[in-house]
Each structure stands twice: as C-alpha cells, then as structure tokens.
Amino acid sequence: MEYVRLGRTGLRVSELCFGTMSFGSSKWRPWVLDPDESEPFYRRALDAGINFFDTANMYSNGASEEVTGRFLKAHGNRDELVIATKVHFPTGPGPNMGGLSRKHIEQACESSLRRLGVDTIDLYQIHRLDPHTPPEEMLAALDSLVQKGKVRYLGASSMYAWEFAKLLSLSERNGWARMVAMQDHYNLLAREVEREMHPLCEYEGVGVIPWSPLARGHLAGTRKAVGDGSNDTTRGQTDGIDELLYTADSDAAVLDAVSAVAERHVRPMAQIALAWVASKQAVTAPIIGVTKLEQLDDAIDSLEVELTDDDIAELEAPYVPRRQAELGRPSLH
C-alpha cells in the first residue's frame, strides 16, 4: 500500500479509501452487515495498510459510525488513521435533524464524535448541499468546527462544479477553512464529472475520492446486463437506485470492454474498473464498498494492475455522454 497526499494538503492517505456504508445494521438495509459480520473487514483493511475510512452519520442511522469507531480503536493506531464522515441527511424526526444549518452541523458533529469515539474528525464532509441554508452560514459553521479543533479538514460531495467553485471562493474571501476533498460519483459508467468538476479540483488542489467506483457492482460483473432486472446480489435486488443511475444503452458496451480487458490481463472485472479510476490524475483514492472479503481482496489487488494506454482507450471508447440528471446528482448515494 502506498500513501498519497489528499489534494494539496500535507495529509497522507492510502490509495484506497474504505467505505463503511455496508457496515452497521441490517435493519437499516438488508444488505448491510451487522457488527459481528463487519469486524473481519476492518481487520483485513488495516492489515493491508488502508488508513483512510469513510462513513456518514446517516449510514445505518449512526450505527456505521459506532461500528467504525469501535473496530478502528480495537485494531488500528488512531494517530495513523484518517477518519472521514458526512453531514446533511436527516438522522431523526423533526425540522432540525437534517440539512446544513449552523444548529444541525454543530449538533451532528458532536453526535458523530461521540459515536466514533474520537476527539477530532479528520475529514468532515457535507453529504449534499442544502438549498434552504445560505452557503455563508454553512461555511462559517464548518470553519468554527475547525477553529475549535473538532474537525481537521473539510470536504464536500456530489454537486455541480459551479456550486463547488462558489463554496471555495466564499471560503477564500472570508478567511474560512477551505474544502480540500470532493467525493463525487465517478466510474466507467458515470464520467460526466470529467468535464468540469475534475479540472476544477486539479486546478484548486482538491483531492477527489469517488464513490461507487464499481457502479454498485455493475462493473464487477454482478449484473448480466445493465437494466435487465437480473442481479445476483441482495443489494442489487433491493436497492433500486442503481436502476436510476445505470440504464443508458451504452452501458452494456462498456461492460463488454471491461470484460475484454479483464480477460487479457487475467484479472477480475472489478480490478480493471478500479484500476481505471485510480489511474486518473484528479483521483486521490476511490472509495470501495464491499460486503464480501473477496471483494476487498479484489480492491487491494487492483493496485497491482497496470493499464496500458490502449487498455484505457478501449475501456473509454463505448461511453456516451448523458445528462447530469441521469447520474443522480442531487440526492442519491
């Protein structure tokens, strides 16, 4: 495992970020693993040298943060770990239990600190923008958390490039802590962020940590054909969101290309798809989500894959640009 800087910061993170949406409570989603089933994944990730862990306060209604904090404390060295979490989506009933108001941000941060069992969150990210809160209020609240030592770095997820540019500009003009990471939706089936978001991040020195680099398992070959309703996984059968994200006519051709390149390299499709994401200059570390140990092993082994220029050209050729709305920008994860 090698370690890279997150954007232009001095923070060094592993080439893979361990996503924890799959761990917490099966009562929240049927494909989520309960604590006893989750522990081996954290141990395996730590043994492999992964030091970057991403969760959110809404995953399993907080149970994901609890599980993450417990197992990282039991098996990891806190001083070497980079723990990221997110705020925005509602975590309970009531008008102030979601969004990005100063009240909710401060309360949500305290709750995340408690569940994670840490004094400081390394990377605190807005899970989505809140159209009902002025950006100045949100950014000032986030800055205050940095000044108080509750948070070390700030980040964002899934928005338009112009929106992110506005946030960066506001922070600079007001002397507030600046966002250093962008968690966006990026994979071989969803490449629209290459147009504006990634060039913006490279110019501004923002690290990109894509979510769903395997397109919810499609790029791992768990679906026989995109949009045909056949899925061998519990998540695919119950999630529903993937059918909104991956239904373009061109998706099947992309999967064929991944399969062909994988056959040439004698590697699983998942390793090829992850290697492609990791090869992009803007990307710091793809966020991997797994529910089987062999999936985690594939992600780790993908770091050994070296794609040629011809491989990359073959993988990218079938993609057909589509409207951003089809990629689930506002509210999907």
| Residues labelled catalytic | 59
Partners of 153 in beta bridges? 123
C-alpha distances in Å from residue 123, one per residue of 6, 83, 167, 304, 321? 10, 6, 17, 27, 32
Selection from 185, 123, 178, 137 nearest residue 157 by Cα: 185
- CA atoms of 113 and 66, how far apart (whole Å): 10
94-103 burial string, b = 16+ CB within 10 Å, else e?
A: eeeebbbbee
Radius of gyration for the chain, computed over Cα atoms and rounded to the nearest angstrom: 19
What are the φ and ψ backbone dihedral angles of 288, each rounded to 5 degrees? -100, 135
Name 229's Cβ contacts closer than 8 Å, sequence gap at least 6: none
Kindly write down the DSSP assignment for every residue of 129-192, as one continuous string.
--TTS-HHHHHHHHHHHHHTTSEEEEEEES--HHHHHHHHHHHHHHTPPPEEEEE-B-BTTB-G
C-alpha distances in Å from residue 140, one per residue of 20, 137, 176? 28, 5, 7
Look-up of token digits 């506001």 = 170
- CA atoms of 159 and 86, how far apart (whole Å): 14
